[in-house]
Amino acid sequence: MVLLRLLTRTEYAVGAVLDVLISLMAFTSFGLNTVFLQRAPAGLCSESDRSEALGLIKLAILVRFGVACLVALLMIVLSQQISILFLKTTFYSMHVRLLAFGAISAAMLESFMHICQAAQDFGRLSRWMFWTNIWRSPAGLALFLIFGLWGYLLGIVGFIVLSTCIIGWKVRNYWFNNVPIAPLWPTIRYGFPYYLRTFFRFGFLQADQMLVAILLTPDILAMYAVARRFVGYINQATEALLQPVLMRVTALRETTDNSIAQVQDKLIRYIPITIISLSTCVAVSSPWLMRIIGGAKYADGWPLLMLLCLAQICYLFYGMSALYVFALKPPRATLVVDAIVATISLVITPVLILVFKQYGIAFGQMAGFAGGWLFSQHLLRQYTELHMKWRLLLKLILPIIPPVCIIAGGQVIFFSLFIVPLYIVAGVIIFLWILGRRLELAEWMTLQRAVPYRLAKLLDLVYRFTAKRDNFVVVR
């Protein structure tokens, strides 16, 4: 918040280039991270297959580090060209060289977090994701006050390097051990469809900021980066909820369909209502959020934030279907689904950017995710227990409408940075009350069993204050 007021838009855009360089590091894994994410969870739970799983992890880490070093060196050599491409000047070429070190560290940090996912150590994963995202900007601010722009970039890059070293040490037993490394070429051949998938996922998940940087100005890139920060939190929440489901379904894919049906029953009950309500709340609060975070300098970016939040709802439905395709279908099926999303996004989005400027990114994402969801549903048509339960979903989503009217209507009638939070609080309370009144006892019990344990007490409190009296029992 403070940095956005201290930095010019162009200076903040330099920091946004770091995110672009980090996204390019996705191509350095050769699909090996995805291979061990698919095969290691079951292997780590079995004594007989544990060595094979650890060998896959070790191979993925070594290959990622070696290739990422080469890519970072290339970024340093081409720093002037990168500065011209993204920032329209050679002035920031030395800054780009510093950002290259942050990109390689972020690549390794991602691999170490994937190890936590494979080991199903979701507590450590969520903690580190939280601290990495929360403290990166304060680290940059602290050094900015001393050294200016160089200090800001050094603080961000230094914090990423420190986080990588710490979490790498914490999970060292998975990649630094005496287990033989998995064979290189057979593993790469197996993971090649996943590597191709990296290109496609880059097209619809990470290429957006790069397209803005190339096709538009640094000022718009800075505004897009601010709006994208909020959307990034929603995306992380979505992934944090979907990843445990993916690991669970992957472990259950050799069991009966009934086990997977139970996972789907929980999935449809708590993930959509969480993400849709969060996305909608951020969308209707976007005028207040952009002004309070960036001040008047970024106040005109609220329509972009609203559209990006709506695109995240489309991503939610796509992600819910795609995880079952990933877990239950051959690698080629996942590749085709991602290819459809990427093709739609990359073909439509540049045209939409030229027509609608930065808003074209959101429209392109919506179209791509909708296409991917439809095709995923087509691939899963034989699994009747995985079909979307629209009546139940509608029952969970309808309570969002009155709070949206309250928050949006309040801002239209009287907008104040100090009053809008009251609209939001009132909207949340009404949403929880309506939701609680609509749910039956059996649905409350299923919902409470589905949510993470740490949310149990909060959900119990909501239940006690909102549930219908004839449903009121001690659920937990």
Residue range 131-179, pLDDT digits in tens: 777 777 788 888 898 888 999 999 999 999 998 998 899 888 888 888 8
pLDDT tens per residue, range 13-25 = 999 999 999 999 9
Pure H helices in 182-330: 184-201, 207-215, 218-252, 257-284, 286-294, 302-328
Question: Is residue 141 a contact partner of residue 195, using CB atoms and an 8 Å limit?
Answer: no
Please report whether residue 201 resides in a domain. Answer: no
Note whether 7 and 102 are same-domain residues. Answer: yes
Please report whether residue 191 resides in a domain. Answer: no
Note whether 19 and 149 are same-domain residues. Answer: yes
Note whether 307 and 429 are same-domain residues. Answer: no
Torsion of CA 390, 310, 271, 106, to 10 degrees: 150
Please report whether residue 295 resides in a domain. Answer: yes
Please report whether residue 194 resides in a domain. Answer: no
The predicted structure's pLDDT at residue 328: 77
Domain residue limits at 220: 216-385
Q: Which of 182, 204, 230 is the last residue of a domain?
A: 182
Note whether 137 and 115 are same-domain residues. Answer: yes
Note whether 162 and 264 are same-domain residues. Answer: no
Q: What is the mean pLDDT of residues 403-412?
A: 93
Which band of pLDDT confidence, cut at 50, 70 and 90, is reported for residue 468?
low
pLDDT tens per residue, range 42-52 = 777 777 778 88
pLDDT tens per residue, range 318-333 = 988 888 887 778 778 8
Note whether 325 and 279 are same-domain residues. Answer: yes
Instruction: Give the chain's domain count.
Output: 3
Note whether 380 and 433 are same-domain residues. Answer: no
pLDDT tens per residue, range 284-308 = 999 999 999 888 889 889 999 999 9
The predicted structure's pLDDT at residue 476: 44
pLDDT of 262 strictly over 70: no
The predicted structure's pLDDT at residue 367: 92
Q: Which of 182, 201, 225 is the last residue of a domain?
A: 182
Pure H helices in 88-206: 93-118, 122-147, 149-170, 172-175, 184-201
Note whether 393 and 381 are same-domain residues. Answer: no
Question: Is residue 379 a contact partner of residue 333, using CB atoms and an 8 Å limit?
Answer: yes
| Cα distance between residue 208 and residue 159, in whole Å | 25
pLDDT of 123 strictly over 80: no
